[in-house]
Amino acid sequence: MASFALDPEQLKWCAQVRDWAAERLRPLAEAGEPGRVNRPLLAALGELGLLARLFPGTALELCLLRESLARECTEAETALALQGLGAHPLLESPELAARWIPRVVSGEAVAAFALTEPGAGSDAAALELAAEPAPGGWRLTGEKCWISNAPEADVYTVFARTTPGAGARGVTAFAVPADRPGLGGERLDMLSPHPIGRLRFDAVPVGEQDVIGEVDRGFRVAMTTLNRFRPSVGAFAVGMAQAALDAAAAHAASRTAFGAPLKELQAVSHTLAEMATRTEAARLLVYAAAEAYDSGAAWTARSSAMAKLFATETAQYAVDAAVQIHGARALERGHLLEHLYREVRAPRIYEGATEVQRSIIAKELFA
């Protein structure tokens, strides 16, 4: 239905991405180990030229890419998105970009965005990882938690406090290679199937050459990155919602109950209609937010918050409804909907929880 918003070339490209995801990427994803970085999958994303679309690319292109991948292979979508999130801040520094971006684009180097801490999630300005002055730079001491791709990434965009007591104004972003002395970590066993871990910093050395942007201006780097990727989290959610809707509609058309196909039951058909309507509304909100970002519109923050809020909540509803229509078979390990059920929960939390998005929207109403 949303095809009116896209030109023929965009529609053709989205179809091509879905084909690649189903035919080339999904087998690699299925061969990987849940909770671990899938380097063959990243290499394939690089070979297909999809990682290159992240740098710089438009927000709308990113949304179309993430939605298309998510409809066929959520692991490929997430692997691509994490590369973009972890490496996008490096564009602030020509030297760091020259060193890392080509390797990230090829899939050779794995990037990670290390912002969240045990006591600082959505309140990013409250982070406590200490960057203590040392000869030639700083020493990082503290912990990061629930970091995607940790501890297996090759380079981390790390946000640390260089000026104590300064809130958002005292945070600096650093590019920290994984082989720095004092940097360690461990995997976390999470509901979501993608890799997440904890990082520990024991006086990890960083220098001026590792600073992303400016000293004490790292919060701006974090927010610039999150603002760019927030609409595309909604696109990921739309892709999952569409996959759930497609599966539920196919099942309702083929499964017979009480002497007729499930689709003939009003309770089922009305649920499918609600799923379709919410998914389409979410898709249009995501496209509008991406176009607002690309055009530099004054309402970008509000539009992005609305898109992420509505799309992630819609995906949760759609997947849950699809499971209900399928019944017990959808709960079997390995079923598409069992996979989506585990995958769909996290986007309502990361990159600004649902409650944070509502606060942003409410604040914008009175700006």
Residues marked active site are found at: 351
Please, what is the angle between helix 74-87 and helix 218-254, to 10°?
Answer: 170
Closest CA to 342 of 35, 24, 25: 35
Contacts of 26 (CB under 8 A, 6+ apart): 72, 73, 75, 76
**Number of other residues whose CB lies within 10 A of the CB of residue 125:** 15
State the distance between the two ends of the chain, measured CA to CA, in whole angstroms: 34
Q: Count each helix (H run) and each strand (E run) in the chain, helices first.
A: 11, 10
SS3 159: strand
Q: Distance from CA of residue 263 to its chain's centroid?
A: 34
Q: How many CB atoms lie within 10 A of CB 81?
A: 24
